């Protein structure tokens, strides 16, 4: 800025009176008042709207401002106190556009239907049919009624214009004294959705209304029509203006330059055109005296639009490559051949084949290059880890189930982590939608998808937290997980009971399978001493067995005696005393 001279007191007062305040509606619901003279934010209007502000209109009384919002309400503001003067419900859906009548006593509001409000009573004065989509522009086309015989009440007999999004017709409405007619009296047809509309208000009966409509396709349509009642057919533009590049400098095809906005000058003959880039638009005054239906203005936009960048960004030096320099390029994995430099004396082989020769196959050429073909091919025909991310993005963009199945059905944890880490950020949300879709399928695929979900949430949590619409994006996934977790406790109880039942059944089967053991003894041995031979009870209990036992003993004793007598005869000890014999017995 240049040096500013000191202002006198009188000058300061004049500037304060003529402050140009720019009202800016925000997506949060507040309205900012910005001073274009001071170049700073003057005040902020809060507490009126709960949702996005769609339209802001100044009243003829400079301290009064009207705004409408997605919260279905219209608010009247006092800009001096920065407080809400009045607030009322404007529609059943969001109110998208406002327009104040020329006398300042009426207000047009529109969502899809159009309503005319009395600003004193805040009641609906008239209803109009409106459009199928949200109305984007509203403006009065006449200041005075065309029929001057009747007394003018400030609103009856006036025409106004409306345009809507995705609608290629601009409708003109007539405010009658009765409430019967609610439809449009005429319409203007354009090539695309209108984005900017400007008109010259007709003050005299015979003066036609001039209309300039800029469409989304970058064309400007001009209409000229005397508003004199009902017209059945849609009116076509009297002239269409386009801007294009000359098509020089190697590129012979001219390219269209979009027109962003247009406005009539005070003389109503010349137009101000705004075209080019939205960051650095070109504003040009054009006088239109021609009667041609289609005008194409040639403008060299490339020379005008040269966006300067910092020198530090573009300091890239290209290396000077000599004939002796060897340049290494990225090769195929497993390619470990030595670069053979051709001999200087030999001539280069010509690509032309002789008539008798056959063309070499690709395999032979690869063999000549010394590339191991088996190394290049990946085992099992599966892609390598580093290409999984590329495949995943391709599958998500083309919605190819075969590619997605190949990638998402992998079981290795490190491949899943590496793929999620290497995938671009813009593919995270589509991947989450695909995983949500597959989680709803059979449990086998759900168990695989959970691994991918875990990796996505751990590696891309910071990106996901920055998304404003994260809750609706992940709503279905959250509900799905909630419903599955709710049944977990019941399932675990059922699992426990079933486990107990199964173990009990298995135990009972094991008991039945064991063969019965015979409890009776095969051999009973009783040890009786000589002192206890007289016990009658035992003798009675096992009489037969004892008798047999005694007989056996007697036989044994007799045989023992015979053996001993034989031994004695051999040893010469036969003359023993009878006492000793009895002792031996």
Q: Which CATH number do you get for residue 161? A: 2.130.10.10
Instruction: For residue 295, give the nearest of 279, 267, 266, 271 by alpha carbon.
Output: 271
The answer to whether residue 133 is domain-embedded is yes
pLDDT at 403 (0 to 100): 87
The answer to whether residue 142 is domain-embedded is yes
**Within this chain, do residues 293 and 415 fall inside the same structural domain, yes or no?**
no
Distances (CA, A) of 502 to 491, 497, 499, 513: 16, 9, 5, 17
- Count structural domains, the chain: 2
Task: Using the predicted structure, report yes or no on whether residue 66 has a pLDDT greater than 70.
Answer: yes
Tell me which of 485, 505, 537 is where a domain ends.
485
Task: Using the predicted structure, report yes or no on whether residue 263 has a pLDDT greater than 60.
Answer: yes
The answer to whether residue 315 is domain-embedded is no
Partner residues linked to 114 by β-bridges = 110, 128
**Within this chain, do residues 112 and 239 fall inside the same structural domain, yes or no?**
yes
**Within this chain, do residues 429 and 285 fall inside the same structural domain, yes or no?**
no
112 CB-contact burial (10 Å; exposed 0-12 / middle 13-18 / buried 19+): middle
The answer to whether residue 205 is domain-embedded is yes
The answer to whether residue 166 is domain-embedded is yes
Whether 33 contacts 83, CB under 8 Å: no
**Within this chain, do residues 158 and 281 fall inside the same structural domain, yes or no?**
yes
Tell me which of 485, 514, 535 is where a domain ends.
485
**Within this chain, do residues 411 and 294 fall inside the same structural domain, yes or no?**
no
Q: What are phi and psi of 22, to 5 degrees?
A: -105, 120
Length of the chain as a residue count: 585
The percentage of the chain sitting over the pLDDT mark of 70, rounded to a whole number, equals 72
**Within this chain, do residues 273 and 418 fall inside the same structural domain, yes or no?**
no
The answer to whether residue 123 is domain-embedded is yes
Range of the domain at 267: 96-298
Whether 238 contacts 224, CB under 8 Å: yes
**Within this chain, do residues 282 and 423 fall inside the same structural domain, yes or no?**
no
pLDDT at 479 (0 to 100): 85
DSSP letter at 427 equals G
Task: Using the predicted structure, report yes or no on whether residue 195 has a pLDDT greater than 60.
Answer: yes
Alpha carbon 405 to chain centroid, angstroms: 20
The answer to whether residue 343 is domain-embedded is no
Residues 135-189 pLDDT 10s: 999 999 888 777 666 777 778 888 899 999 999 999 999 988 777 778 889 999 9
| d(C-alpha 462, C-alpha 425), whole Å | 11
**Within this chain, do residues 290 and 420 fall inside the same structural domain, yes or no?**
no
**Within this chain, do residues 292 and 389 fall inside the same structural domain, yes or no?**
no
| d(C-alpha 286, C-alpha 149), whole Å | 39
> Tokens representing 231?
């017209």
**Within this chain, do residues 126 and 233 fall inside the same structural domain, yes or no?**
yes
Residues 449-504 pLDDT 10s: 888 889 999 999 888 888 888 888 888 888 888 888 888 888 999 999 999 999 99
Whether 408 contacts 438, CB under 8 Å: yes
Instruction: For the chain, give the mean pLDDT.
Output: 79
Tell me which of 485, 516, 533 is where a domain ends.
485
| d(C-alpha 17, C-alpha 10), whole Å | 11
Residues 426-439 pLDDT 10s: 889 999 888 888 88
| Averaged pLDDT for residues 221-249 | 87
The answer to whether residue 564 is domain-embedded is no
**Within this chain, do residues 293 and 406 fall inside the same structural domain, yes or no?**
no
């Amino acid at each position: 800025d240049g040096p500013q001279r000191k202002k006198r007191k009188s000058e300061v007062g004049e500037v304060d009176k003529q402050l140009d305040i720019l009202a800016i509606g925000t997506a949060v619901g507040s309205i900012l008042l910005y001073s274009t003279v001071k170049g700073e934010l003057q005040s902020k209007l809060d507490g009126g709207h709960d949702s996005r502000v769609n339209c802001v209109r100044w009243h003829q009384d400079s301290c009064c401002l009207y705004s409408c919002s997605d919260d279905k309400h219209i608010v009247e503001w006092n800009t001096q106190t920065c407080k809400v003067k009045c607030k009322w419900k404007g529609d059943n859906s969001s109110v998208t556009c406002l327009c104040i009548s020329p006398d300042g006593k009426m207000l047009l509001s529109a969502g899809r239907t159009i309503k005319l409000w009395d600003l004193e009573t805040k009641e609906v004065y008239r209803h109009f049919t409106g459009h199928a989509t949200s109305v984007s522009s509203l403006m009065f086309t006449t200041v005075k009624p065309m029929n001057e015989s009747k007394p003018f009440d400030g609103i009856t007999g006036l025409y106004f214009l409306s345009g809507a999004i995705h609608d290629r017709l601009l409708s003109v409405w007539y405010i009658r004294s009765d409430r019967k007619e609610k439809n449009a009296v005429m319409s203007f047809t354009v090539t695309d959705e209108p984005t900017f509309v400007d008109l010259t208000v007709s003050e005299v009966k015979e003066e036609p209304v001039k209309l300039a409509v800029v469409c989304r396709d970058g064309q400007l349509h001009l209409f000229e029509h005397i508003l004199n009642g009902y017209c059945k057919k849609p009116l076509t533009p009297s002239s269409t203006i386009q801007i294009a590049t000359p098509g020089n400098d190697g590129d012979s095809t001219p390219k269209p330059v979009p027109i962003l906005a247009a406005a009539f000058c005070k003389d109503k003959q010349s137009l101000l055109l705004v075209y080019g880039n939205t960051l650095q638009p070109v504003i040009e005054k054009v006088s239109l005296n021609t009667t041609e239906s289609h005008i194409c203005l040639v403008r060299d936009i490339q020379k005008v639009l040269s966006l300067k960048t910092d020198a530090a960004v573009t300091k890239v030096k290209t290396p000077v490559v000599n004939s002796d320099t060897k340049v290494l390029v990225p090769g195929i994995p497993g390619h470990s051949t030595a670069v053979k430099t051709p001999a200087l004396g030999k001539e280069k082989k010509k690509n032309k084949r002789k008539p008798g020769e056959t063309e070499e196959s690709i395999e032979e050429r690869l063999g000549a290059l010394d590339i191991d073909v088996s190394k290049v091919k990946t085992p099992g025909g599966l892609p390598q880890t580093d290409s999984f991310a590329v495949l995943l993005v391709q599958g998500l963009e083309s919605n190819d189930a075969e590619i997605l199945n190949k990638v998402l059905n992998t079981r290795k944890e490190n491949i899943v982590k590496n793929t999620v880490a290497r995938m671009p950020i813009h593919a995270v949300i589509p991947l989450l939608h695909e995983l949500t879709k597959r989680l709803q399928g059979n449990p086998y695929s759900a168990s695989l998808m959970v691994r991918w979900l875990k990796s996505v949430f751990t590696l891309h949590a910071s990106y996901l937290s920055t998304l404003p619409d994260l809750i609706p994006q992940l709503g279905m996934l959250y509900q799905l997980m909630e419903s599955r977790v709710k049944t977990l406790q019941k399932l675990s109880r059922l699992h426990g009971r079933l486990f107990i039942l199964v173990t009990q059944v298995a135990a009972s089967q094991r008991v039945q399978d064991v063969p019965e053991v015979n409890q009776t003894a095969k051999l009973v041995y009783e040890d009786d001493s000589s002192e206890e031979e007289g016990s009658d009870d035992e003798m009675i209990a096992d009489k037969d067995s004892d008798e047999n036992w005694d007989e056996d003993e007697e036989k044994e004793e007799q045989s023992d005696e015979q053996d001993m007598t034989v031994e004695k005869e051999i040893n010469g000890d036969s003359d023993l005393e009878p006492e000793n014999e009895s002792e031996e017995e």
